[in-house]
């Protein structure tokens, strides 16, 4: 029904060097027990930073499924980030997040991942 963000999404390690498996962590709760949600992480299509899926393919969006209860829960999504085609020289990138609840309502989020030189 409704998803509440108790602690906004963070990335760790941050700053980091690439390639690296980055942990996106946040605390959520729902107005109902056992609510299925989709959590989508997205990157800008223009730059050269990508997500890598389990098959080694480069993606600009990764979606994870979670189940949220009434009690506050910490969720950690581990996603490999790496360089690929696109504009380089990035010092940091924005990772946009969209949490879609069981009714289709979307709660946005954002975290900036900085890169070590």
Nearest to 97 by CA among 67, 75, 72: 75
CB 107 within 8 A of CB 6: no
CATH number at residue 35: 2.60.40.740
Q: Residue length, the chain?
A: 117
* 19-70 per-position pLDDT tens digit: 999 999 999 999 999 999 999 999 999 999 999 998 999 999 999 999 999 9
Number of independent structural domains in the chain? 1
Interatomic CA distance for residues 57 and 70, integer angstroms: 35
- Residue 93 lies in domain: 3-114
pLDDT bracket for residue 89 (50, 70, 90): confident
């Amino acid at each position: 029904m409704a998803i509440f963000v108790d602690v906004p999404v963070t990335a760790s390690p941050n700053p980091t060097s690439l390639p690296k498996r980055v942990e996106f962590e946040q605390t959520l709760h729902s107005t109902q027990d056992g609510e299925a949600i989709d959590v989508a992480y997205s990157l800008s299509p223009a730059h050269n930073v990508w997500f890598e899926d389990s098959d080694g393919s480069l993606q600009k969006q990764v979606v994870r499924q979670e189940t949220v209860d009434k009690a506050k829960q910490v969720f950690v999504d581990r996603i490999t980030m790496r360089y690929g085609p696109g504009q380089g020289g990035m010092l940091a990138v924005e990772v946009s997040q969209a949490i879609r609840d069981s009714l289709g309502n979307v709660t946005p989020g954002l975290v900036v991942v900085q890169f070590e030189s």
